Structure 1
Amino acid sequence: MTQTDKTVAVVGATGLQGGAVTHHLLRGGWQVRALTRDPNGTPARALARAGARVARAQMEDVDSLTAAAEGAWGLFSVQPTVGSPGTAPDFTTEDEVRWGVNVADAAHAAGVGHLVFTSVAGADRHLSEKVPVNLVSKWRIEQHIARLGLPATILRPVSFMENFTGGYALQNGTLSTGLAPDTAQQLMAVDDVGFITELVFRRPEEWIGRSVSLAADELTPVQVADAIGRALGITLPYDQIPIETIRDLSEDFAYANQWLNEYGYRTDIAATRRIHPAAMDFSTWLKHTGAAQISAFLNTEIATAQDA
């Protein structure tokens, strides 16, 4: 049976990771069932035009997930974390875990042949050190997958380069995060996660049962700001947000930044390049799509300020 005979169901197909996975699966010749809560929305219609079959499913509804997964050989699972774009203000880590458990249960009920779950780098260090809550939530989902005995692969990417394309990090003409200026942060392009996911589905005999962390570059925030500035021909200073300021908004988010400053992901970049030699470093990603996305955001921000 070849890729053209196999269907892979993609949870969150209209999101950042799900969209990248769907793109690479379609390019690889797979039949793709794109799961979304809104099949009539603009993103879902775009996936249908690209060749995906769109199906309605909601991660809070395990029955809808099971129905959408029936007959699929593979299933890609990803859940948002607290504060992710598009999540409700009251979305919690317990919601995230429940959604991940629901997808795993649906894969089990539907008899899926290969589940690929994207977790986060460092989740496996939960038992040896105190880690941020978003790592713990992913670990809990991983453990549920293991308890079910599913034929699964766990991918654990580090922070995404795409985090630097919007208001999460770009504020008032500066790059602003909670990281110290000299803290090196490991990064990965979402598109490369999509590439590796397709590779994993294509080689199940090699990948089922494996858990792998993924990183393609490592830069300080000052280096990130400099690289963006060079790509756009602008001056982009770096401004660290004090941890106490972040703590006033969220204790968990403050600890996540402290953890990155003190420990970090510590993923083997060379190992990722052995899997995907063409994985983009930050400069390559800027040339590929990043600079255009950042420029569009900054232009919109300037236009909004002028209209205010």
Structure 2
Amino acid sequence: MSQQNTILVTAANGNVGSSLSRQLLDQGFNVNALVRNTESKIARDLEKRGAKIFKGDFDDFSSLQKASEGIWGVFINSNPIPGTLDELRHNTSIIKAAKEAGAKFGVYMSVMMAERKDEFPGLSPQHESYKYWESKHGTEKALQEAGFEHWTILRPGMFISNFFGPIASFLWPTLQKQHVILSPLAPTVTQPLIDTDDVAKYAAAAFADPNTFHGLAIDVASEEVTLENFAKLITDIVGVEVTVEHISIEEAARRGVTSRIAGWHSWIRALNYRIDYERLQKFPIKSATVAEYLKKNKASVAEFLSA
């Protein structure tokens, strides 16, 4: 790879960003890794692998400019900040810095259904999730209109890791300590799940083959799984018994479960939304099943559930 194939990976200390950085380095790309903490274990590991580490602050445009110098592509991935449009503002700054630096290709990690947020029943500016969806949709539009030679949008379903990390306390508050998944959803409802490593695989494939992936918005997941089947897989593979308790939306709210879970699935039903798994088979990516993810991460999942 020549210097023109340098990729700026934002949020390179995160699950997707760090995985993408490693994959790009393995494929011979140069990587500018933007992180908040340059002394973190992930940053040090990426540096040892050959990445250039940049300390960045999405509110400090000059730090984005510095990290963007000499890049050919950019992976856009700032974190949502509840109740604000900061994610949109940060992503717009990333796009601007990359474009000014001469980048030719932008890849953005959005979320499934972002392009259809205006069809969501009841999603008004007063809704608690409005700014989240506005940020996702707004960034997609900003990328498409930025003038890059190539752009790709990835819209993943739910990360499997969301059940076993910091966000789990928000989404599934009784899973870690009580080993119970409280669900305001019907037992037949499925979750479109994906490993963050596989989202990174799609991004890496796009950078490696920009002509094939140019102008595509791809909804990505590995499979649809009911929560009962998910709990059984954890029980069988990890060896920690997990159960599911189906409760009303009102009871879920009283027990600390965010209303966003039920809201998200109500919009899926209202829009009759389905991920096109047949389409995904046309791309050169083999996504891990939930069972494969749990086998690969058995030790860390067990540690999480025993904390």
Give 3-state SS (helix, strand or coil) of 1:148's partner. coil
* Residue 246 to residue 99, structure 1, CA distance change in 2 (3 Å): farther
Instruction: Report the counterpart of residue 87 of structure 1 in structure 2.
Output: none
Q: Cα offset for 1:127? A: 3.3
Instruction: Report the counterpart of residue 211 of structure 1 in structure 2.
Output: 217
Give 3-state SS (helix, strand or coil) of 1:76's partner. strand
Q: Cα offset for 1:18? A: 0.6
State the alpha-carbon separation in 1 of the partners of residues 299 and 270 from structure 2: 32
Instruction: Report the counterpart of residue 31 of structure 1 in structure 2.
Output: 30
Structure 2: runs of 5+ lacking an equivalent: 124-128
Contact kept in structure 1, 2:240 and 2:302, CA below 8 Å? no
Contact kept in structure 1, 2:3 and 2:70, CA below 8 Å? no
* Residue 264 to residue 40, structure 1, CA distance change in 2 (3 Å): farther
Q: Cα offset for 1:160? A: 0.7
Instruction: Report the counterpart of residue 7 of structure 1 in structure 2.
Output: 6
Q: Cα offset for 1:254? A: 5.5
- Matches for 1:146-295 after TM superposition, within 5 Å: 146-150=144-148, 151-166=150-165, 167-168=168-169, 169=172, 170-171=175-176, 172-240=178-246, 242-245=248-251, 247=253, 255-256=263-264, 258-259=266-267, 266-289=274-297, 291-295=298-302
Aligned-residue CA RMSD (Å): 2.3
Instruction: Say how many residue pairs are matched.
Output: 290
Deviating above 4 A after TM superposition, structure 1's stretches of 4 or more consecutive aligned residues are: 245-254, 260-265
Letter in 2 for 1:192: D
Letter in 2 for 1:121: M
Letter in 2 for 1:173: H
Find out whether 1:110 has 2:110 as its counterpart.
no
Find out whether 1:93 has 2:92 as its counterpart.
no
Aligned sequence identity (%): 29
State the alpha-carbon separation in 2 of the partners of residues 251 and 221 from structure 1: 17
State the alpha-carbon separation in 1 of the partners of residues 268 and 296 from structure 2: 27
State the alpha-carbon separation in 2 of the partners of residues 209 and 114 from structure 1: 10
In the superposition, the TM-score normalised over structure 2's length comes to 0.86
Give 3-state SS (helix, strand or coil) of 1:175's partner. strand
State the alpha-carbon separation in 2 of the partners of residues 261 and 243 from structure 1: 16
Give 3-state SS (helix, strand or coil) of 1:115's partner. strand
Contact kept in structure 2, 1:246 and 1:254, CA below 8 Å? no
Instruction: Report the counterpart of residue 68 of structure 1 in structure 2.
Output: 67
Q: Cα offset for 1:92? A: 3.4
Give 3-state SS (helix, strand or coil) of 1:93's partner. coil
In the superposition, the TM-score normalised over structure 1's length comes to 0.85
Structure 1: runs of 5+ lacking an equivalent: 83-90, 301-308
State the alpha-carbon separation in 1 of the partners of residues 267 and 73 from structure 2: 34
